[in-house]
Structure formats: C-alpha cells, structure tokens
C-alpha cells in the first residue's frame, strides 16, 4: 500500500490506496478539490496528477453515489468515527481494484460494535512543513485507536507509529481479538524524538477516558512498522522498555541498541535487495547477540523495500512474546530469558542449510545465530527464510502480497494444496509451525484446528539428493 492525503481545513488525514489509481478529496471552506492520481512510484511519489473542483454539496452526492456503486460490485462502505463531527466513509472494492477513502461531514452517531477513536496531541515544538508531516496539522500529532467489541479489559495494543490507517487492517484486528488487544496508530513524522513517550501516554489517557477503558493508561505495547516506522518502533522500545512486549521492525537495518531493549524479543524483516540493509543486519546480528539480545533477522529473498509477507512471521513472534511476558492488568512485564528461546543458524541459509534448535541444544555459536521465542516461531522462521523454494503453497492464502485475508474458525475444514507438480523424493508433508499435520494426497490435504491461535502452515519434503525442501509459510489466524 502507498499513502496519499486528504486535507480537511488545516488538518490532514492519510488515505490508503492501491496502484494504479486513487481519488483524493481536499475540503476547504468553498470547494472540494478532487485529485486523480494515475500512478504512484515505488517511494510513494505521485505521477500524473489531475485536479478538478466540486462544490461541497456535489462532493457529498459523489461520495454517496460511489458507495452505492461499490456495494453493487461486491465491495463495502464503512462509516468510521473521527474527531468531533467528522466521519470517514471507507470504500473498499474487490481485490485488484482501487481502494478509496472520502472524508465528509454527516451528523454524529453513537458507534456500534468495534470502536474507532481519534485524538490530537499538542506538540511542544511544531513540525516543519512536509508532505508526510501535515496529518493532524503542524502543531499536533494524530493518534487513532481501534478497540474490539466485547472485550471488557484491553490487555495491550499493537502500535504502528507512522501509519494511522493501521487501525482498519482486518488481519491485525483478527489477531488483536485473540489477545484482547487494541490497535494504536499515530503519525510521528516531523515530531521531536524526546516528545514521543509523553505523547503516547497523553493519547492513551485520552482514549482511556473516552472509552471507559481505564486500563489503557500505561498500556503495554507491541510496536511494528515499515521503514521509518521500523526505526521508530525500536526507539519506542528504548523509550518504554518496561512496557514493550516485543518489536517487529520491517525494511530498515535496525535492532536493539541498549541493555534494556536487548531483553525485548525483536525480529527485523528486510528485503535482501533493499540497499545495504541485509549486509548491515548481518553485521548487527552478532553484535546484539553477543550482548544477549533477544534478536533475530529474517530476509525476504529477492525483495526490495517491501513489507510483503512479513506478518506471516511477526504474528507468531508477538503471540509467543505475549504468552510469556504479559500477566494480569497492572502487573509488570515478565522477563523472557535468553535460554528459554530457540536459535536459528544463518551461516548456510542460501545453501539451504539453516537449522534451528532450542537454546541449550544449539550446536553452533549462539552469538552468531538468530534468537527466536519458541518452537513455532522458529519453525516459521526456518520456512520463511527458505532460499528459492521449489515447494509452494497454492492454498490456503497467507498474509501479504495481495492475498485475501480469510479469518478461520475452530473446526473449519481448510484445504492445503501444493502449487504445480514439484519433483520430490517421497511424500510432501504439511506442517503448522513445529506440528506435523499430515501428508498430501493427490496434491492436497484437508486440515482442521481444534484451538484458536496462529498457525504458520508450510510444506516440507525431500529433493532427489535427500536435502530438505520447504515452502514459505502462510500464517492462518484461527478464531
């Protein structure tokens, strides 16, 4: 996804979209400017921009007509509350079509079901003018939160520090329902680093009061983000180590830097063709691990600056860390001992020779290996870092790369199917993390899961020379 912007008066709101087209509505006192973006390059720069003006009344009619059209085409239109009387109509089309979000004014209504809340936090030092720093205005940082329906006590939040639309992501909503979590998001672009901890606490306090979830004050965090968001996620861990459960940075050569953040489970995902990130992370890994850092890296081979399939690994990471570290509300986080994790070898992963083992049984140098929290995450990591896999999953779909997100149910029959007709020696097995589910018959196997959870499903077999083959994992969220 790329990000464009919607301006309401002096404030700006991010809009998520897919290439090649998106419409942007900019409201001011007189007219609405409709901006047609025909192309967005890899860094989010808009190419082929055309503008026209509409009266505000016409814009409202346009939004309603477009919502009706999208419903007819099998899409959805969701009314999401914003600050005061502002409301967002989020318009979604079937896969492959553009997704648009239009901001316009409607009478305020009490939200039903899941709750979306917004607040602005005043800055001590105003932001400088810039494309990515406009959201919320130059004197404020915008925060948003999603709270799941029916959860009496919010146990924590995932936190994306640079992407406020993260609160609408269905796959993370499904994950957070499992944990009893909310989704917190902000846009810190242009904000001073030393203001961030206080801003987080101010926003959480505001959300606690508005939602009557007082436990949000001082909530525990699982930060994650891409590029600048990756760097900010690690800084949040440094600012708030006593409240950070685990960290999932993507697309930046970052990791733990101080003694406290070394104790926080952290797994950095990168594209090996994204500048020098891979090279730098390979150098950072032993430095952090020599200090006992609960740190690992996971390359997405032949990828550049792409989030891609990172969530297939980050969700199992967070799940493992939450189960070990998070106690009752108000209790401090529990430590995650280095010796209680697993280790993954990085020395031969391009030759297909990676291995995993519990910390105490690892045969190599622990200071040169990736640290992983449990057997499930380690097995998912081993499949995730597979070099040029010959085994590929046709179904079920996982997370990322435009695959449709399908929440699964306990007891649901799910067909696992291999893509094509790969040459293997013997059977092709189906695994979910460290658990063997069975063997393919006729290229497929129907599986069921008896408990809610996160299941990184992958295929495993042997080549003609006896070496192990694996597919990349597709993580299923089972409710």
Q: Over its length of 479 residues, how does the chain's per-residue pLDDT go in tens digits?
A: 233 333 333 233 333 333 333 333 333 322 333 334 444 344 444 444 444 444 444 444 444 444 444 444 444 433 333 333 333 333 333 333 333 333 333 333 333 589 999 999 999 999 998 888 889 999 999 999 999 999 999 999 999 999 999 999 999 999 999 999 999 999 999 999 999 999 999 999 999 999 999 999 999 999 999 999 999 999 999 999 999 999 999 999 999 999 999 999 999 999 999 999 999 999 999 999 999 999 999 999 999 999 999 999 999 999 999 999 999 988 999 999 999 999 999 998 887 778 999 999 999 999 999 999 999 999 999 999 999 999 999 999 999 999 999 999 999 999 999 999 998 999 999 999 999 999 999 999 999 999 999 999 999 999 998 899 999 999 999 99
Paired with 459 in beta bridges are 430
308: helix, coil or strand? coil
Can you list the alpha helix ranges (DSSP code H) found in 165-218? 170-179, 196-211
Cβ neighbours around 36 below 10 Å, total: 13
Would you call 479 helix, strand, or coil by DSSP? coil
**Whole-angstrom Cα distance, residue 219 to residue 241?**
12
Q: Helix H segments across 133-193?
A: 170-179
Say if residues 414 and 448 touch (Cβ distance below 8 Å): yes
CA 22 to chain centre: 22
CA distance 324 to 333: 9
- For residue 152, report the phi and psi dihedrals to the nearest 5 degrees: -75, -35
């Amino acid at each position: 996804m790329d990000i464009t912007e919607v301006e309401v008066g002096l404030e700006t709101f991010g809009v998520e979209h897919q290439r090649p087209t998106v419409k942007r509505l900019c409201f001011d006192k007189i007219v609405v400017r409709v901006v047609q973006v025909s192309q967005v390059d890899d860094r989010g720069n808009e190419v082929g921009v055309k503008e026209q003006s509409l009266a505000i009344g016409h814009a409202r009619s346009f939004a309603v007509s477009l919502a009706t059209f999208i419903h007819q085409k099998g899409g959805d239109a969701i009314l999401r509350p914003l600050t005061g009387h502002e409301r967002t109509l989020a318009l979604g089309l079937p896969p492959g079509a553009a997704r648009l979000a239009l901001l316009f004014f409607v009478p305020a209504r009490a939200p039903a079901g899941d709750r979306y809340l917004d607040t602005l936090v005043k800055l001590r030092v105003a932001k400088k003018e810039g494309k990515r720093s406009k959201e919320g205005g130059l004197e404020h940082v915008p925060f948003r939160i999603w709270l799941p329906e029916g959860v009496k006590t919010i146990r924590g939040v995932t936190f994306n520090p640079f992407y406020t639309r993260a609160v609408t992501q269905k796959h993370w909503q499904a994950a957070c329902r499992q944990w009893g979590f909310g989704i917190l998001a902000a846009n810190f672009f242009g904000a001073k680093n030393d203001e961030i901890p206080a801003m987080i606490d101010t926003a959480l306090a505001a959300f606690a009061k508005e939602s009557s979830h007082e436990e949000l004050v001082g909530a525990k965090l699982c930060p994650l983000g891409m590029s600048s968001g990756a760097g900010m996620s690690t800084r949040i861990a440094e600012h708030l180590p006593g409240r950070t459960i685990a960290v999932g940075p993507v697309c930046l050569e970052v990791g733990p830097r101080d003694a406290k953040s070394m104790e926080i489970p952290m797994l950095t995902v990168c594209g090996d063709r994204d500048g020098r990130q891979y090279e730098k992370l390979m150098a950072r890994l032993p430095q952090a691990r020599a200090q006992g850092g609960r740190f690992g890296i996971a390359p997405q081979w032949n990828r550049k600056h792409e989030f891609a399939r990172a969530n297939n690994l980050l969700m199992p990471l967070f799940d493992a860390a939450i189960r070990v570290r998070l106690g009752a509300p108000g209790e401090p986080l529990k430590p995650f001992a280095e010796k209680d994790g697993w280790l993954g070898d990085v020395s031969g992963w391009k030759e297909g020779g990676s291995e995993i083992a519990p910390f105490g049984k690892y045969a190599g140098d622990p200071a040169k290996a990736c640290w992983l929290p449990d057997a499930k995450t380690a097995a998912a990591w081993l499949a995730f870092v597979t070099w040029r896999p010959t085994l590929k999953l046709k179904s079920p779909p996982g997370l990322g790369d435009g695959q449709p997100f399908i929440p699964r149910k306990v007891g649901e029959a799910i067909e696992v199917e291999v893509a094509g007709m790969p040459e293997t020696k013997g059977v092709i097995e189906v695994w979910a993390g460290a658990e063997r589910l069975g063997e393919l018959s006729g290229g497929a196997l129907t599986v069921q899961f008896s408990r809610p959870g996160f299941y990184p499903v992958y295929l495993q077999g042997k080549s003609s020379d006896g070496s192990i083959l694996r597919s990349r994992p597709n993580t299923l969220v089972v409710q």
